[in-house]
Structure 1
Amino acid sequence: MTSFSELLSSLMARVSGVGVLSGLSRLSGGANMESFAFDWAGSGYVLRRAPSAAYMADRPFGHVDEAALVRAAFDAGVKAPEVVGVLEDGDGLGTGYVMRRVMAEVSPAKILADPPPSLLADLGRELARIHAIPMDRVPDAIPLMDTGAALAELRSRFLSYGGDRPVIALAIKWCEDHLPEAAPPVLVHGDYRMGNVMVDSEGLAAVLDWELAHRGDAHEDLAFGCMTVWRFGQLDKPAFGVGSLDDYFAAYEAAGGSPVDRDRFRFWLVYRTLWWALGCLQMGQMWRSGADKTVERVVIGRRTAEQELDLVRLLEAEAPEAEQAAALPPSKPVVPEPAGEPTNREIVEAVRDWIEGSIKPGAQGHAKFEAVVAMNALGIVLRDLDVGVRAEDAALADALLSGTATLAEPGLLAKLRRAVLDKCAVDSPKYAALAAARADWRG
């Protein structure tokens, strides 16, 4: 059987000419696609591909159109990667494309620890450039988003996942009640945030991951990178964790972006937080269905709690002032440990410690990443065994979704606040917004 490296060498010979493959390694990042870095004929490249053909089956466009879109962005002066070749059936590598490698930092933690002075202005400018790409340069397969239809689809997905998460129901109803009029469509990157940009000492170096691109409202892109989860702990800097919204909007408008509508921006901030909450739930469904049995999927499935916390923080201003000032009910007590045989908690703890002491130290690259994810998964189970916190409440979710219950109801906001605090403490105890919410809510 022909090896992966042999197939990749044949691909590169086809698209780039004679050379020798070296330095092949799988990159640890990328929640959806596989990425491999390598050298060919003295230059660095990255292969981006789908883990399986089935993985691409329900996507609105494939890698051929994605590569064409990235090329259009590159040609328009956007700091997109330079695509050098697209996989064909005969290559035996699935679907994907090859780009020239950009040498810059992608880790949000490292970037945000010491961002270059120009970064916020660069982010605004680059987004304006993306939105200015002429529609006739965008491949026909790139879909047009109808916001109302997309919101209805989120509602349908929520119901298919059980329809029993009250905070998600609250957010869906709020978005339905605040749906804006359609805006003139632009090319929307769809995933413009820390983690999908590369940065060097000079500023923004590359914009990555174009798989969610579509035609739609520019404010969707403006809001997405400002979600709490994508600020990676920099809660006092609402624009990407880098700076202020005023400075970000000014940079976007100065680079040719249309004037920013603050109400429309707020809608999209809530919408995309809701979207990612359901996206996290979907990760768990992918694992259950067998489409992707990696541990990473079930762990991301539990990150729904982060988004529910953020949604309550975004929407609590809708409640009367008296409800916003109300005290929280108490948490459930921790289950005491028995003194007899090893408990489920102790068995899980033993497995986690074994991974940390025996597996993680010898792992490299993606295998080390997977070991860390497995430890995180077992940590969730340990905390859950202590308190048994659940987020499901079908009756309350139905009442919020229908509008028969609202945040004006006495005690409801306090109940939701307590629920999201306790659930996030189990699923994501290091989430920066958790500590901030505890302080704000005296929880």
Structure 2
Amino acid sequence: MAATPEELNAGLTRAMERAGLGVPEGLHRLTGGATMESWRFSCANDGRRDEFVLRRAPSLAFMEDRPYGHDVEAAVIRAAKAAGVTAPEVVVELEPEDEIGSGFVMRALPGTPNPREILEFDGADALLGQAARDLARIHSIKRGDVPDAVPVMDYRAAIADLRQQFEEAGGDRPIIALGLKWMEDNCPDPAHPVLVHGDYRMGNLLAEPGRLTGVLDWELAHFGDRHEDLAFGCMAVWRFARYDRPALGLGSLEDYFAAYEAEAGVTVDRERFRYWLIHRTVWWALGCLKMAQHWRSGQDRMLERVVISRRTSEQELDLLMLLEEDAPLKLRRAQVGDSLTDQPFEPKGEATASEIAVAVSEWLASMKDQMKGHDRFQLAVARNALGIIERETSSAYLNRVADYPEDLSFAILSGSRDLSDKYLLSDLRFMALECVRTDSPKYPALAVARERWL
């Protein structure tokens, strides 16, 4: 449900009264958050003002397809805090009579969630060790410590669900099809299920220099394979500018695994880790695609949704670099020709669509100092969107994509084409490079792929 700041304040007042706290003040929207909203505010408490964060769904409809609600998520967070995890304190859950939808209030924690700031801190090795410690403690939480509504993952059912999402999204992304086929062929046997955070990565960790201060966003918690959590935070997309540090952007996999093994008392299985690295890359690629449908349906008309949908190509690039390890050596060593988009184009006459997008982006940049908080963040998102339009209208890729047969994804899923095919890997590399060049030209993995492939 859409709510004005005034309506949120009124609803929060009712909720905070139940927690024995005063009237909320200074309510403002925090930036980021691919799915849920976060709002920060303060309340009087025994003569001082304490800071809190409201975590809230953008609409009640947004919660309909989720396995459990915010009440269960809040219970999981409380169990994690009791297990020694650096988790926030849940103060109160929203009730229907608050009339501001679904969510809960947490006590604010110190530190920043900004990955780029965290990855510049000194003492990255200390942070990596603390992150491994917290993850091991999450995995120690027992089934009886959390509500029964927290599901147990069925690996095969999860793959089938991803395949259905792929088909509903058009079924025409051959690199994702390649990932789905690989998962079907390489799905491991079930491991002893542990509580999996489900979204353990930079962006959901709070930190100060040398110190982890919080683990956030527990909405995807479930029981499953511990390697899923270990792998997810190590995906290239969550390393941000530190592609060279594969463990959370903080350090080496060897140090991460060693710290985890010391706390958890188990050995990390490298093959299972690779499986979940591929599985969750496919999962996030399809999650990005789904953002466009959220926007089209009217569920959530935030500009950020359509821009995130174009990050699908980042995951396809990462996925192909993971999957090509299984291709014949001579095909992996073969290089592809550089694309046509490097050829300069000098427009004449009236302004092109590309130039109009640049002009609007430049005007928005002039408004930056007049905005703050979430509006400033959305301005940056809008400029990203205009950049995509500018690059796409001047890209050779749109002509190139017509050369691919419509049934390529089906051929890959059926097994009739795979990475032993003489031309498939080269064609998919070209496709991935061109898409990311249009959608996210500063994506760190793009430079790595270009060096490897061109």
TM-score, normalised to structure 2's length?
0.94
Q: CA deviation at 1:9?
A: 2.1
Residue type at the aligned position of 1:26: R
Counterpart of 1:349 (choices 358, 362, 375) is 358
In 1: Cα distance, 2:173 partner to 2:318 partner: 14
Q: For each residue in 1:7-52, what CA deviation from the matched residue of structure 2 results, as whole angstroms up to 9, or x when unmatched?
A: 32232122123x2432321111211111111111111111111111
In 2: Cα distance, 1:233 partner to 1:201 partner: 18
| Corresponding residue of 1:400 | 412
Counterpart of 1:276 (choices 267, 278, 284) is 284
* Conserved 8 A contact 1:233-1:433: no
Query: Residue 126 in 1 paired to residue 134 in 2?
Result: yes
| Corresponding residue of 1:114 | 121
Q: CA deviation at 1:332?
A: 3.3
* Conserved 8 A contact 1:335-1:386: no
Residue type at the aligned position of 1:345: S
* Conserved 8 A contact 1:191-1:221: yes
In 1: Cα distance, 2:7 partner to 2:271 partner: 54
* Conserved 8 A contact 2:54-2:106: yes
Query: Residue 225 in 1 paired to residue 228 in 2?
Result: no
* Conserved 8 A contact 1:71-1:82: yes
* Conserved 8 A contact 1:52-1:94: yes
Q: CA deviation at 1:162?
A: 1.0
* Conserved 8 A contact 2:121-2:210: no
In 2: Cα distance, 1:356 partner to 1:304 partner: 26
Residue type at the aligned position of 1:30: G
Residue type at the aligned position of 2:66: R
Q: CA deviation at 1:287?
A: 1.3
Aligned length: 440
Q: For each residue in 1:228-277, what CA deviation from the matched residue of structure 2 results, as whole angstroms up to 9, or x when unmatched?
A: 00011212211101111111111111112521111000000000011101
| Corresponding residue of 1:171 | 179
Q: Quick one: percent identity of the two aligned structures? A: 53
Query: Residue 267 in 1 paired to residue 256 in 2?
Result: no
Query: After the TM superposition, which of the residue ranges 297-306 and 113-122 deviates more from structure 2?
Result: 113-122
| Corresponding residue of 1:78 | 85
* Conserved 8 A contact 1:329-1:414: no
Counterpart of 2:448 (choices 422, 436, 440) is 436
Counterpart of 1:303 (choices 305, 311, 314) is 311
Q: CA deviation at 1:341?
A: 2.1
| Corresponding residue of 1:5 | 9
Query: After the TM superposition, which of the residue ranges 147-156 and 392-401 deviates more from structure 2?
Result: 392-401
Counterpart of 1:89 (choices 77, 96, 100) is 96
Counterpart of 1:424 (choices 422, 436, 444) is 436
In 1: Cα distance, 2:169 partner to 2:118 partner: 36
In 1: Cα distance, 2:424 partner to 2:116 partner: 36
In 1: Cα distance, 2:446 partner to 2:244 partner: 14
| Corresponding residue of 2:62 | 55
* Distance change in 2, residues 1:24/1:305 (3 Å): same
Q: Aligned with 1:255: secondary structure? A: helix
Query: Residue 204 in 1 paired to residue 212 in 2?
Result: yes
In 2: Cα distance, 1:89 partner to 1:9 partner: 14
* Conserved 8 A contact 2:86-2:215: yes
Runs of 5+ in structure 1 lacking a partner?
A: none
Matches within 5 A, 1:38-49: 38-41=41-44, 42-49=49-56
Counterpart of 2:327 (choices 319, 324, 331) is 319
Q: Aligned with 1:66: secondary structure? A: helix
Q: For each residue in 1:344-364, what CA deviation from the matched residue of structure 2 results, as whole angstroms up to 9, or x when unmatched?
A: 22222222222111x322111
Report the aligned-residue RMSD. 1.6
* Conserved 8 A contact 1:326-1:411: no
Query: Residue 34 in 1 paired to residue 37 in 2?
Result: yes
In 1: Cα distance, 2:173 partner to 2:286 partner: 10
| Corresponding residue of 2:75 | 68
In 2: Cα distance, 1:263 partner to 1:342 partner: 53
Q: For each residue in 1:173-219, what CA deviation from the matched residue of structure 2 results, as whole angstroms up to 9, or x when unmatched?
A: 11111100011111100000000011123421110000011111111
In 2: Cα distance, 1:168 partner to 1:153 partner: 14
In 2: Cα distance, 1:158 partner to 1:257 partner: 38
In 1: Cα distance, 2:289 partner to 2:7 partner: 36
Counterpart of 1:14 (choices 10, 13, 18) is 18
Q: CA deviation at 1:278?
A: 0.6
In 1: Cα distance, 2:20 partner to 2:377 partner: 31
Q: CA deviation at 1:411?
A: 2.3
* Conserved 8 A contact 1:63-1:96: yes
* Distance change in 2, residues 1:434/1:202 (3 Å): closer
In 2: Cα distance, 1:167 partner to 1:337 partner: 33
In 2: Cα distance, 1:8 partner to 1:133 partner: 31
Query: After the TM superposition, which of the residue ranges 396-405 and 423-432 deviates more from structure 2?
Result: 396-405
In 1: Cα distance, 2:103 partner to 2:20 partner: 16
* Conserved 8 A contact 1:329-1:415: no
Q: Aligned with 2:288: secondary structure? A: helix
Q: For each residue in 1:112-132, what CA deviation from the matched residue of structure 2 results, as whole angstroms up to 9, or x when unmatched?
A: 112434111111111110000
Residue type at the aligned position of 1:29: G
In 2: Cα distance, 1:263 partner to 1:328 partner: 29
* Distance change in 2, residues 1:65/1:302 (3 Å): same
